[in-house]
Amino acid sequence: MSAAAADDDNDNDDVMMVQAEDGDSDDEDEVDEEETALESYETPLDKDDCPVDEYQVFKSVLESKTLCSVLYIASNVVL
């Protein structure tokens, strides 16, 4: 390959890199910030003044299931 052909290849690579960089920046500028219908749906539990603590409810349900399981297993043990 001649020196002129090598220079043309390098110039083409430089142009392609500039085009690729320009294309990437356009994609970042067009980020859609709108919420979907599901994300914007608000339940009574989402409100700040909600008296229900979801974690405490979840914890108590899980603990009661564990206790029930232990009692059920213990009642079916054959000695």
Scanning the chain, the segments in alpha helix (DSSP H) are: 3-29, 37-40, 54-75
Q: Is 41 helix (H, G, I), strand (E, B) or coil?
A: coil
Residues sharing a CB contact under 8 Å with residue 44, sequence separation 6 or more, in sequence order = 50
Whether this prediction's pTM lies above 0.85 is answered by no
% pLDDT > 70, the chain: 57
Return the pLDDT at 1.
54
pLDDT in tens, 32-65: 678 888 888 888 888 888 898 989 999 999 999 9
- Max intra-chain CA distance, the chain: 94
Decide if 50 contacts 44 (C-beta within 8 A).
yes
